[in-house]
Amino acid sequence: GEDVEQSLFLSVREGDSSVINCTYTDSSSTYLYWYKQEPGAGLQLLTYIFSNMDMKQDQRLTVLLNKKDKHLSLRIADTQTGDSAIYFCAEIRMDSSYKLIFGSGTRLLVRP
Amino acid sequence: DVKVTQSSRYLVKRTGEKVFLECVQDMDHENMFWYRQDPGLGLRLIYFSYDVKMKEKGDIPEGYSVSREKKERFSLILESASTNQTSMYLCASSRPRGPQHFGDGTRLSIL
């Protein structure tokens, strides 16, 4: 199938680390993306990883990719209240359309 | 920075009206996309375009059409608006095989 799956909800305390998980289906995907959506806004591209990488770090964000299990995770270190949002993972279809297939999103709530 | 601008943040229209949603990008991107986002259904692709005057149906094209007369502009048209088209509409643009960059969205209500 085409599903990209994510857990629906995550709650963490301010200052802790958050880990948002995602599984995807297309083993030929070359790029995998993480987007952030704040209330009432569009999607903001946070980071992405190329499929020949295992890990990518960008300031407080760490992306881990397990190609064998088709598992992607986003770790946010020192989570802040401003990180509260919905996080979407997405894979790019490597057929002629190059469509993005999005997960349903994980709502992250950061408690003070 | 990539800028994708949607003409309206909020729009209220009546059933049966013809509605135009406009989207402009300033990065000379070849690809442009229209999605709708509904609670519990995630993002669903309505139409996309690879080039000027080119269009492809997405997953839910019924009740919609699009126009791409210039590279920077991609319009979504609701031919005869219905209440089930009340939704958040998101426009995006990208280079071929590149990440998609989104506008802020248009929240459309059909009364």
Please give, rounded to a whole number of angstroms, the shortest distance from the CA of B102 to a CA of chain A.
6
Please give, rounded to a whole number of angstroms, the shortest distance from the CA of A68 to a CA of chain B.
23
Distance, in Å, from the CA atom of B56 to the CA atom of B109, rounded to the nearest integer, reads: 25
**What's the sign of the alpha-carbon dihedral A10, B37, A38, B34?**
positive
pLDDT attached to residue A13: 97
Name which of A19-23, A90-94, B29-33, B87-91 the model is least confident about: A90-94
Model pLDDT for residues A19-73, shown as the tens digit of each residue: 999 998 877 767 899 999 998 889 999 999 988 889 999 999 999 999 889 999 9
Checking if the pLDDT of B56 tops 90, the result is yes
Tell me what the mean pLDDT of segment B101-110 comes to.
95
User: Which residues of chain A approach chain B closer than 8 Å at the C-beta?
Assistant: 30-31, 33, 35, 40-45, 48, 88, 92, 97-100, 102-105
pLDDT attached to residue A101: 87
Tell me what the mean pLDDT of segment A8-27 comes to.
93
Question: Could A103 and B42 be called an inter-chain contact, meaning their C-beta atoms sit closer than 8 Å?
Answer: yes
Closest CA to B96 of B48, B50, B59, B27: B50
Contact B108/A at CB under 8 A: no
Please give, rounded to a whole number of angstroms, the shortest distance from the CA of B58 to a CA of chain A.
9
Distance, in Å, from the CA atom of A47 to the CA atom of A34, rounded to the nearest integer, reads: 5
Question: Could B99 and A88 be called an inter-chain contact, meaning their C-beta atoms sit closer than 8 Å?
Answer: no
Question: Could A98 and B56 be called an inter-chain contact, meaning their C-beta atoms sit closer than 8 Å?
Answer: no
pLDDT attached to residue A96: 58
Cα Rg of chain A, angstroms? 14
Tell me what the mean pLDDT of segment A12-18 comes to.
97
Chain B residue nearest residue A90, CA to CA: B99
**What's the sign of the alpha-carbon dihedral A37, A43, A47, A53?**
positive
pLDDT attached to residue A92: 83
A73-84: b (≥16 Cβ within 10 Å) or e: bbbbeebeeebb
